[in-house]
Structure 1
Amino acid sequence: MTEDARVDDELLTIGAFAARARLSPKALRLYDRLGLLAPAQVDEASGYRYYRADQVERARLVALLRQLDMPLARIAEVVETDGPEAAGLLAAYWTDVETRLAGQRTLAEYLRGRLSGRSSEMYGKFVVETVDVPAQTVITETRHTLADELPAWIGASLGRLEAAAKECGGATAAPYVVYHAEVSMESDGPAQACVPVADEAAARKWAEAKGRAWETKVRVEPAQRLAYTRITKAQVAHPQILAAFEAVEEWMAREGLEMAGPCREIYFADWDAAGPEDAVCDVAFPVR
């Protein structure tokens, strides 16, 4: 190695280090700027960057992790961790990637069906019926949320409301979630978790105490008719559930029924105990 490539026994110029790491100096400057691999020393006068030979492994690891499209924060976490724990962080990230890809694969198949004119075939597997629901008092919790946070929020909010129902005369019907606007990765609703309860006065007292912290309210829903289709736990996943809602909308149009309120998901079964093919949810629209 030439004298200008090695500054001393410990430090390498950015060119020499880049050659060892099989990376470009441009990539190393980027890693420095992103906080993933800082030089061991920067000359104050010239601005030249110098690296230690033992930083080569980290440089190569950062480059490989970036090829997995790993977010910068997670790359930093992995490279700052040693041994099996770092491997565990990578495994957890890749599990998330595969879950996302599986969802995208299903969505792509769903969209191919729509674009190829197979919508009627997709909707045909859903049986749509109507049911009359009496007036009921409901305690609610409302949240603006994107699609990736929605499942966790539904579980947590319905859990809170079902526990609170004990103070409100007890739950009188299945809990449900109302969508006042679209929830997607671009639109945040809001969504409203609802639990019907027996005692309106007790419910209003409870909501007055909890309302600011939980965005809770009490309302009395009038008697109404719902058009609905029943779906399994597997079908609750996106985008299968979109096909269920669209099947109900198509049926409503054929039957000459008008939408009389926002769509909803009614969860009538024990979610944790249910298997993938067990019926757990009705997707529904109020109609007139």
Structure 2
Amino acid sequence: MHTGLTVGAFSRVTHLSIKTLRHYHDVGLLAPADVDPGTGYRYYSLEQVPTAQVIVRLRDLDMPVADVKAVLAAEDVSTRNELIAAHLARLEDRLAQAQSAVESLRELLSRPAYGSTIEYRTVREQPAIGIREVVERQDVVSWWQGALGELHGFTTARGLHRTGPIGGLFASELLQDERGEALVFVPVDGDVRPVGRIDAVVVPGAELAVAVHRGPLQTIDLTYGDLGTHAARHEIGVDGPLREFYLRSPLDVASEHDWVTEVGWPIFRSNG
């Protein structure tokens, strides 16, 4: 005679459906205390109720079954807490990404119909120091931040005189093929010997349509969209790297919402 709870009774106690309990048994997450060899009926013990309640909460937090099994199998409280803390950290990262996406969507919906204010500008060739590398699109922001810091430290340590804002050049392939050449540069006076990734470069001149982007780089695609639309509508766009000038960057302000970036789209001007 079986003294445990039937699967139906255990379902009512734990608020786990019979289908879910059978699935958890099949994947080795919560096996019944006993299975009748003749009928195949499953029976659970009252001692398994707390375990089921833990599983419910971990699964409500989207913890994968394999990770839940690891938590339940942990030999000590410290190991169990580390596993849970690691999952919570991943959830917080996802939450931050979702919040950023929500803010970006709100900004898009609240933007004025006319978009960015666009001006035309001629930029001259500039001697500079820079870091140039072929990067993956998914890595470009972290690479950009590292290059900014490295160039800032170099110019400060060498006492170099900046002749213009820090800027960046980004090949079209970076967007089109998700991999391409990027250059972050600081215009400076005088000759500079290469050190590590830092080299002397000449930033080419260009004719640009320019718009100002304010805030984090997650929404800079909106400014690029305004510029690209303008260039296509007026049939003035030409091939060439996209250009950015960092008027207020992580080097200047703590909050990314205070960043100010000028975005330049290469164009053809007959009366430059």
Using the size of structure 2 for normalisation, the TM-score is: 0.64
Q: What do residues 179-219 of structure 1 show as CA deviations (whole Å, max 9, x unaligned)? A: 534559xx74446242246577722x634xxxxxxxx8875
Which of 233, 247, 261 matches 1:281?
Answer: 261
Task: Give the structure 2 partner of residue 116 of structure 1.
Answer: none
Residues 207-236 of structure 1, C-alpha deviations (whole Å, 9 max, x = no match): 4xxxxxxxx887544222332212222xx3
Correspondence for 1:60: 53
Q: In structure 1, what residue type is equivalent to 2:214?
A: T
Q: How far off its partner does 1:124 sit?
A: 3.2
Cα separation, 2, equivalents of 1:125 and 1:23 = 53
Structure 1 CA distance for aligned equivalents of residues 105 and 265 of structure 2: 26
Q: Are 1:141 and 2:141 matched, yes or no?
A: no
Report the alpha carbon displacement of residue 174 of structure 1 after superposing the two structures with TM.
Answer: 0.2
The one-letter amino acid of 2:144's match is I
In the alignment, what sits opposite 1:261? 240
1:183–1:191: 8 Å Cα contact kept in structure 2? no
- 1:196-235 paired onto structure 2 within 5 Å: 196=186, 202-203=193-194, 206-207=196-197, 220-233=202-215
| Contact persistence 1:232–1:278 (CA under 8 A) | yes
> What is the CA–CA distance in structure 1 between the aligned matches of 2:200 and 2:25, rounded to whole Å?
54
Match of 1:4 among 2, 5, 11: 2
Q: Which residue of 2 aligns with 1:178?
A: 170
Deviation at 1:108, TM superposition (A): 4.5
Match of 2:223 in 1: 244
Distance in 2, matches of 1:193 and 1:34, equals 50
Match runs of 1:114-193 below 5 Å: 121-137=112-128, 138-146=130-138, 150-163=140-153, 170=160, 172=162, 173-176=165-168, 178-181=170-173, 188-190=178-180, 192-193=182-183
Unaligned runs of 5+ in 1: 7-11, 114-118, 208-215
Q: Secondary structure at the match of 1:243?
A: helix
Give the % identical residues: 23
Q: Which has the larger radius of gyration?
A: 2
* Equivalent position amino acid for 2:101 in 1: Q
Pair 129,275 (structure 1): closer, same or farther in 2 beyond 3 Å:
farther
